[in-house]
Amino acid sequence: MTSKDPRSLGRRDSWDGVRAVVAGFGVSGFAAADSLNHLGAGVVALDEATSDDKAEKAELLNVLGADVRLGQGVTERLPDEVDVLVTSPGWRPDAPLIAQARARGIPVWGEVELAWRLRDPEHPAPWLAVTGTNGKTTTVQMLDSILTAAGLRSTAAGNVGRPIVEAVMDPEPYDAIAVELSSFQLHYTSSMSAEAAAVLNVAEDHLDWYPSFDDYVADKGRIYTQAQRACVYNVADERTRRLVEEADVVEGARAIGFTLGMPGVGMLGLVEDILADRAFVEDRASSAAELCTIADLASPAPHFVANALAAAALARAHGVSQAAVRDGLRAFRPDGHRIAHVATVREVSYVDDSKATNPHAAQSSLQAYDSVVWVAGGLAKGARFDDLVSSVRSRLRGVVLLGRDRHVIADALSRHAPDVPVIEIGDGETGDPMERVVDAAVGLASPGDTVLLAPGCASMDMFANYGARGDAFASAVRRRAAGETD
């Protein structure tokens, strides 16, 4: 038995003698293993995958003294002498390594938990944390842009950008860190005390991972635990408000709502086309501060505006000025595959929102357009589409479906929008499937319509990731556009 309990150790302590196992050797797993090895712990990292990238990183860490084991079967059994297990996001609680650690009373941390414990006590950069079913990445990147505009050294980290362990171990400390957290990451986090935290929305997702929707919601709510200054919630999503009400926060932390309507006291919202703050102004009972206008944003889509309000709320909780919020939001441009306009051909717009990988995200995207030919399908991850179809059926001019679980969407359409024409792109047909998707969409669209790739599903049944899916759609659209002008 080691003389050191890892739960009592931090950044300035020696971890010599601590035996750490890292489950998973992806981006976050490598960062965790590298940091623990640097601190002096004895590290064993395990992963079933044997990609060239992982093999190269394994060779590097092995040279530095860690023990990295890759290959089939290596994650079936937890080594005998272990003081802490650090798991990568996405590892289910019933995975053999985690179940064995729990049975043996060994602490199980996620990379986020490890990162929180390794913050520099002399320069503990505050965390401004974001979770939600959709919009996390955009909101965190907006927040980072605002913090940068305020003259602060910041970074986007966690589920986007840098691994959070890597960010906190940076030898040059940050002034603030914008942290994106998935429900998986929050599941294995217990010590974090964010300066301000936001749950953007909660809708069905990852039901192939969680025993129930309530378990998924509960993990989202963990982000508010011990929040220091502000718990930011979505006025339009009652579940987020209830999570704030149920949270055990630091005394004095405030509940701050964001809304696409007129903001009440303690909220950020819209006054006509102005993003306004009635939460962080002195006379909030009778006045509001103008932050920016919708025209300052890269998109007027409602979910994009909501993300901007949430980012602004977190930044204002940190003390950022109105001008910095405006400048940061003006400067921000979203990553590819998020409501990205591809082309307009014969008065039909083609938009790539391949990042919409669940029904809630697809619904938000569809509601930004009045007349849509919807391109959807892929891996549904246990999700249902009845509520989505019911809410957008009046906007649908046609639907093109592809992917393994396309029948799930087709069934919802037959129940709730039986008059909407649906074309399914089958697996056994010849030719590029996305070319056939675009050809089918062209046949359904009329001038003024938007052909929208918002799949509502994950991509891995047909594509490497959502980016590859979006690229395939954009390429097919551009080839079709070139053919129209030949």
Confidence of residue 149 (pLDDT cuts 50, 70, 90): very high
Give one DSSP letter per residue of 291-332, joined into a string.
EEEGGGSS---HHHHHHHHHHHHHHHHTT--HHHHHHHHHH-
Residue 379: both structure tokens together: 């891996």
CA distances, 61 to each of 214, 316, 325 (Å): 39, 41, 41
Q: Residue 2 pLDDT more than 60?
A: no
Cα(318)–Cα(198) distance, rounded to whole angstroms? 13
Confidence of residue 203 (pLDDT cuts 50, 70, 90): confident
Q: Residue 161 pLDDT more than 90?
A: no
* pTM confidence score: 0.84
Q: Residue 248 pLDDT more than 90?
A: yes
Residue range(s) in the chain whose domain bears CATH number 3.40.50.720: 17-106
Cα(324)–Cα(341) distance, rounded to whole angstroms? 28
Residue range(s) in the chain whose domain bears CATH number 3.90.190.20: 340-485
Q: Please answer whether residues 291 and 276 qualify as being in contact, where contact means their C-beta atoms are separated by less than 8 angstroms.
A: yes
Residue 80: both structure tokens together: 């005998």
CATH topology of domain 115-331: UDP-N-acetylmuramoyl-L-alanine:D-glutamate ligase (3.40.1190)
Cα(12)–Cα(88) distance, rounded to whole angstroms? 24
Q: Give 343: exposed, middle or buried? Use CB within 10 Å, 0-12, 13-18, 19+.
A: middle
What pLDDT was estimated at residue 431? 77
Question: Tell me: the pLDDT tens digits for 180-197?
Answer: 999 999 999 999 999 999
Task: Enter the DSSP assignment of 222.
Answer: G
What pLDDT was estimated at residue 485? 53
Cα(253)–Cα(398) distance, rounded to whole angstroms? 47
Instruction: Tell me what the mean pLDDT of segment 155-170 comes to.
Output: 93
C-alpha triplet 206, 207, 213: angle, nearest 5°: 110
Confidence of residue 210 (pLDDT cuts 50, 70, 90): confident
Question: Tell me: the pLDDT tens digits for 75-114?
Answer: 999 999 999 999 988 788 999 999 999 999 999 999 999 9
Instruction: Tell me what the mean pLDDT of segment 248-254 comes to.
Output: 97
Residue range(s) in the chain whose domain bears CATH number 3.40.1190.10: 115-331
Average predicted confidence (pLDDT) for the chain: 94
Q: Residue 478 pLDDT more than 50?
A: yes
Q: In angstroms, how far is the first alpha carbon of the chain from the final one?
A: 75
Q: Residue 3 pLDDT more than 70?
A: no
Q: Could you tell me if residue 125 is left (phi over 0), alpha (psi between -120 and 50 degrees) or otherwise beta?
A: beta
Q: Residue 1 pLDDT more than 60?
A: no
What pLDDT was estimated at residue 180? 97
Candidates 3.40.50.800, 3.20.20.140, 3.40.50.300, 3.90.190.20; CATH matching 340-485: 3.90.190.20
CATH superfamily of 17-106: NAD(P)-binding Rossmann-like Domain (3.40.50.720)
Instruction: Tell me what the mean pLDDT of segment 279-287 comes to.
Output: 91
Q: Could you tell me which of 53, 43, 46 has the C-alpha nearest to residue 16?
A: 43
CA distances, 448 to each of 24, 140, 342, 349 (Å): 48, 33, 15, 7
Task: Enter the DSSP assignment of 486.
Answer: -
Strand positions, DSSP E, 88-137: 108-110, 127-131
Instruction: Tell me what the mean pLDDT of segment 23-40 comes to.
Output: 94
Helix (H) or strand (E) holding 23: strand 19-23
What pLDDT was estimated at residue 439? 95
Question: Tell me: the pLDDT tens digits for 373-413?
Answer: 999 999 998 889 999 999 999 999 999 999 999 999 999 99
Task: Enter the DSSP assignment of 193.
Answer: -
Residue 127: both structure tokens together: 């965390």
Cα(224)–Cα(405) distance, rounded to whole angstroms? 35
Residue 55: both structure tokens together: 């093999």
More confident residue, 167 or 382: 167
